[in-house]
Amino acid sequence: MATTVRLPDSMIEEAKRLASINMRSVPKQIEYFYMLGKICEENPDLPMSFIKEVLAAKSEMVNGKVTSFTFE
């Protein structure tokens, strides 16, 4: 379900800039900001870099870009 939300022009411009850098649409960039903010609030003791690495690893796993590791 789509909902119209009013956001400050400055926020939209920043989302546009980062969306183009990260090859996302503006709505997807805003969703990404929301997801990061939510995760950070739920896990205040984790550094942002760690959260981003976990999200990248999850994306790789979902897209089949991983190989199994065997302990010797």
Cβ 52 vs Cβ 44: under 8 Å: no
- pLDDT given for residue 35 in this prediction: 93
Q: Is residue 2 part of a domain?
A: no
| Domain extent at residue 47 | 9-62
Q: Is residue 72 part of a domain?
A: no
Q: Is residue 49 part of a domain?
A: yes
Task: Look at 15-19, 44-48, 66-70 and tell me which has the smallest mean pLDDT.
Answer: 66-70
Q: Which residue has the tokens 């997801």?
A: 35
Domain count, the chain: 1
pTM of the model: 0.73
Q: Is residue 4 part of a domain?
A: no
* Amino acid identity at 60: E
The whole-angstrom separation of Cα 64 and Cα 45 is 30
Q: Grade residue 13 by pLDDT with cuts at 50, 70 and 90.
A: very high
- pLDDT given for residue 65 in this prediction: 87
pLDDT tens digits for 32-60? Answer: 999 999 999 999 999 999 999 998 899 89
Q: Is residue 3 part of a domain?
A: no
Mean pLDDT (whole number) for 8-13: 96
